[in-house]
Amino acid sequence: LRLQHISTSRHFSSVCPARLLAAMYVKIALLALAAATGADAFAATSGHMGLRSTSMQANNMSPASCDSAAVSRRSFFSKGAAAGVVTTGLVQSAFAATPTIDAPAPDFELPSNRDKNIGLKDLKGKWTVLYFYPGDFTSGCTIEAQNFEKNSKQIRDLGAEIVGVSVDSAEKHLDFAKKYGLSFPLLSDKGGKVSESYGTALKLGPIGTFSNRQTYLIDPSGNLKYVFTDVQSKIKVHAEEVVAKLSELTKA
């Protein structure tokens, strides 16, 4: 794993402090990931969003590029750094403990793209496919959402509803759902409190909080029955995996 050296002498005065700090946070996160999984393994499972495609060249940043946004979530994803850290599902030590299977799922009530709050109480009586994802309009999340939509009839035929959750706003969810014709609700977990209660939140300092790509199957009584933690490596077939597992659980 090769990381760009950040000079603290000659170039320091020309580097925006906020961007320098953000770059350091990114590198710490990447080092943690490399230590846990090995950079080569990560590059193989993450495709075009692997470590090798990422370079935070802080010493080449000009003062003119220093704005109040520093490093946005969207740019972080598009450059590939966060996409690997928060979507591989491999760095479990960075997250809170996953809720206990066969115990009540953590309660929540969040704003949605349907102009109303949706909570766990509203979902009882049916199985729920509660899936957390990093962000609207990113490539992996678009693939995942479209595949859930493609399999939505099969999932509903099994007595289940699909519900997506990310830290994006309800307004952005509305745009995302309209663009891709999504028939299921998307919930806005700003601040990541619900993501944290489900063990998916990853906090990256000034860059913000993201939801790891994980999926939870909750039974009609509100009990957690199954958790998919390695969604990223199987993202193109994940919805089919969910259908298969739901079929198994509903027959049990």
Which token pair is 110? Answer: 């969040």
Is residue 155 within 8 A of residue 249, CB to CB? The reply is no
Q: Is 141 an annotated catalytic residue? A: yes
Task: Identify which of 154, 142, 134 has the alpha carbon closest to the alpha carbon of residue 212.
Answer: 134
Q: Which of 49, 56, 123, 141 is catalytic?
A: 141
Residue 15 gets which letter from DSSP? S
Both tokens of residue 123?
């979902």
**107, containing H or E segment:** none
Return d(Cα 48, Cα 143) in angstroms, integer: 14
Q: In what order do the strands lie in the sheet with 214-218?
A: 186-188, 160-166, 127-132, 214-218, 224-228
Which residue shows structure tokens 């990560």? Answer: 42
* CA atoms of 157 and 209, how far apart (whole Å): 35
Rounded CA gap, 128 and 224, in Å? 9
Whole-number Cα distances in Å, 186 to 107, 135, 154, 165: 16, 11, 19, 6
The catalytic residue positions are: 141
